[in-house]
Amino acid sequence: MKNAIYIILMLLLSSGIKLPMVQADSSSLLEDLDKNFFSLDMEFIMKMEILKNEKIKRTYEMRVVKKDEKMRLDILRPSIERDRRVLNDGDNMWMYLPRSSKLIKIPFKQAFLGGDASNRDILRISLVADYEVLGDVENVDGELLLRLKAKDLNTAYNQVNFYLDTKTKYPIKQEMLSLSGKVIKTIEYAEYIEFDQGYFPSKVTILDQLRKDSKTIFTYTDLSKGTDMTDAFFTTSSLSK
């Protein structure tokens, strides 16, 4: 991807994109995780595969651009969906439907294109904006565990558990929890690739724990740090052009 989220990821670094060697302060660790993986200004190509019983049912390819507090996604394939566009301006999320020429407001918690990810999973602007830290960092089976709680009920998940590599502090897995504390979704980060003198996960798998036969896989290519797009590119009026 030229970016995540993460989408979703981007949405996603020793050297150029740095993480500290050790962080005892859980709040600082959250800020570093957010800065180095989730709130980066980037461009990238994202491939999305929706699977049922390990068989691919639908595939999408899209271009994602993130700048400051905004993120835009343009679907490239399949051709029937081409030019459908989504914009997160930080406070609202909008989708442009080219066949009807309509611009609609979409909820953050809604499933993204019928997959296992929510709109917020894919078009996340910042972890820090949505979550606060619960307690200290824990060491669980050789991995760091960072527990987060949603700041308000508009956030897609009430609580998120982040598992990080103890040495690199790279994310390994997320667990999304319901209000009752049940894990309803997991996100796995894998296949780190060299990016801007650091590393970034090129594959993200989302598993719906309520539907064991369902999962969605995102693959990121053509990553580029920053963007040349002007602010006008991240407006609702630009989505129909």
Ordered structural domains, the chain, with CATH:
26-240 (2.50.20.10)
Q: What is the pLDDT of residue 14?
A: 31
Distances (CA, A) of 104 to 5, 107, 138, 212: 21, 10, 42, 31
> How far apart are the C-alpha atoms of 168 and 170, rounded to whole Å?
5
Q: What is the pLDDT of residue 226?
A: 93
Nearest to 151 by CA among 30, 70, 35, 6: 30
Q: Are 41 and 224 in contact (CB under 8 A)?
A: no
Tell me, what amino acid is at 144?
Answer: L
Nearest to 176 by CA among 218, 103, 121: 121
Q: What is the pLDDT of residue 105?
A: 95
Q: What is the pLDDT of residue 19?
A: 37
Q: What is the pLDDT of residue 5?
A: 36
**Rounded to the nearest 5°, which phi and psi values hold at 166?**
-65, -30
Q: What is the pLDDT of residue 43?
A: 96
Helix locations, the chain, DSSP H: 26-33, 119-122, 127-130
Helix locations, 54-163, DSSP H: 119-122, 127-130
Q: What is the pLDDT of residue 185?
A: 92
Residues of the chain with pLDDT under 70: 1-24
Nearest to 82 by CA among 95, 66, 100, 98: 98
Q: What is the CA radius of gyration of the chain?
A: 17
Q: Are 198 and 186 in contact (CB under 8 A)?
A: no
> How far apart are the C-alpha atoms of 1 and 17, rounded to whole Å?
15
Q: What is the pLDDT of residue 21?
A: 34
* pTM for the predicted model, two decimal places: 0.82
Q: Cβ atoms within 10 A of the Cβ of 76, count?
A: 16
Q: What is the pLDDT of residue 2?
A: 38
Tell me, what amino acid is at 96?
Answer: Y
Nearest to 223 by CA among 186, 189, 197: 197
Q: What is the pLDDT of residue 153?
A: 76
> How far apart are the C-alpha atoms of 182 and 187, rounded to whole Å?
15
